[in-house]
Amino acid sequence: MTKRLDYSEKRDFVRMHVKCTVDYRVAEEGESRLAEGHNLSAGGVQFETDQMLPEGTQLEITISPEQKLTPPLEATAEVVRAEPSPDGRHLISCRFQKVKS
């Protein structure tokens, strides 16, 4: 039996607050956009952007850390939540479907 970590959110994966660039594009479309990453876990990512993305939207994502010691993470993801941010933009939460190696 695996013991679950004891922390307040009780999620499957611990979220790490990050400052990173998220380059995303809606799957099957050509235009890529930049967003500001807020948090990252083994299961997904949350970022802030000026584009509203409805739940269920399929994305191709590249997450580039500020420190170049770590290579970018490339993944396909699905939008699971979109909500307004305090500054009038949109907070987009995505679940990873496949992380590319």
Report residue 84 CA to chain centroid gap. 16
- 65 within 8 A of 74, measured Cβ to Cβ: no
H or E element at residue 15: none
**In DSSP terms, which residues pair with 91 in a beta bridge?**
48, 83
**Per-residue pLDDT tens over the stretch 26-51:** 988 889 999 999 998 889 999 999 99
**Per-residue pLDDT tens over the stretch 54-92:** 999 999 999 988 777 788 999 999 999 999 998 899 999
> Domain spans of the chain?
35-100
Judge if pTM exceeds 0.75. Answer: yes
